[in-house]
Amino acid sequence: MGGITLASSIVLFSTGVILCESPDHKPSTSPSSSISSRKLTAEDEAYARKAQSSRTEAEVASEKGAIDRIKSSISDIQTKLSTLEAPSIKLSPETFGLPPHFMDWVDKIRAEVSFAPGSVSDEIWQESQDPIRNPEIEVDARVWLGNSFCKEELEFQQKRRKFTKRGLATYLGVKESEIDEKDIPTIAVAGSGGGYRAMLGTTGYFKAMKETGLFDCVTYMAGMS
């Protein structure tokens, strides 16, 4: 690109085409200017279309070549992966810092909760269906609606309070006569649910309460699955 500065005008040339000129300045009559300012002929248009077509074909060929190279690289990676062998890693309870026979204990727990004949789960289920052990299963249950306890609930509390009074005296290590019934608290135990961990944790808690005598001080128990 060249430039010529005259008095108060600027003339810019780009391949012989005048881009800007001053009204007071006449365009140059150089050969390049006269050639570029002529009208395009049919031959020129055909040449331009041919050049454009050549560039398009070259771009398509270049893109196709790039895609072929990517496909070839992916194919090579798949071939290499298919020849790889998985590492032989042997995991054991000791790997995670667990006792050597941990998995044996897990299998035993699973067997006990599988409801198989003779399992703990099956024994609990059979006992729950025994009307001698659980006479309440032969009674029709209903929902009590009201602002106070129903008559049956009050009767149960009176009977249970006599039992919990003895349990509380034993737990505190005092004589039963030293405890006033008004001072006997109503203790309730709620067990969380969710899975084996919650079941075993609640069972262990009940066992400890029974061994210490606190279980006999409880009036209500509730749990969720």
Shared domain check, 211 and 192: yes
Shared domain check, 160 and 135: no
In a domain, 72, yes or no: no
In a domain, 102, yes or no: yes
Size (the chain), residues: 225
Of residues 180 and 26, more confidence is placed in 180
Please tell me the predicted confidence (pLDDT) of residue 84: 67
Please tell me the predicted confidence (pLDDT) of residue 18: 45
Rounded CA-CA distance 46/52 in Å is 10
Mean pLDDT of 26-46: 55
Shared domain check, 159 and 202: yes
Shared domain check, 174 and 212: yes
In whole numbers, what is the pLDDT of the chain averaged over residues? 77
Of residues 138 and 10, more confidence is placed in 138
- The torsion angle over the Cα atoms of residues 44, 48, 53 and 58, rounded to 10 degrees, is 130
Residue where a domain stops, chosen among 112, 141, 170: 141
Shared domain check, 202 and 136: no
Q: Is the pTM of this model over 0.85?
A: no
Angle at 77 between CA 76 and CA 79, to 5 degrees: 65
Mean pLDDT of 40-56: 70
Residue where a domain stops, chosen among 90, 120, 141: 141
Q: With 90 as the cut, is the pLDDT of residue 109 above it?
A: no
Q: Which sign, positive or negative, has the C-alpha torsion 102, 105, 109, 114?
A: positive
Of residues 194 and 52, more confidence is placed in 194
Rounded CA-CA distance 3/18 in Å is 10
- The torsion angle over the Cα atoms of residues 160, 162, 166 and 167, rounded to 10 degrees, is 10
Q: What is the pLDDT of residues 51-63, one digit of tens each?
A: 677 667 777 777 7
Domain encompassing residue 16: 2-36
In DSSP terms, 220 is beta-bridged to 188
Domain count, the chain: 3
From residue 177, alpha-carbon distances to 87, 94, 154 in Å are 73, 56, 23
Shared domain check, 225 and 156: yes
In a domain, 89, yes or no: no
Shared domain check, 136 and 164: no
Residue where a domain stops, chosen among 114, 141, 168: 141
Please tell me the predicted confidence (pLDDT) of residue 63: 76
Q: With 80 as the cut, is the pLDDT of residue 178 above it?
A: yes
Q: With 70 as the cut, is the pLDDT of residue 129 above it?
A: yes
Highest mean pLDDT out of 2-16, 53-67, 96-110, 200-214 = 200-214
Please tell me the predicted confidence (pLDDT) of residue 91: 66
Q: With 60 as the cut, is the pLDDT of residue 167 above it?
A: yes
Residue 64: DSSP 8-state: H
Please tell me the predicted confidence (pLDDT) of residue 85: 67
Shared domain check, 178 and 135: no
Beta strand residue intervals within the chain, DSSP E: 2-6, 9-14, 17-18, 187-191, 218-223
Q: What is the pLDDT of residues 149-166, one digit of tens each?
A: 888 899 999 999 989 999
Ordered DSSP codes for 120-168: HHHHHHHHHT-TTT-GGGGSPP----SSS--HHHHHHHHHHHHHHHHHH
Residue 96: DSSP 8-state: G
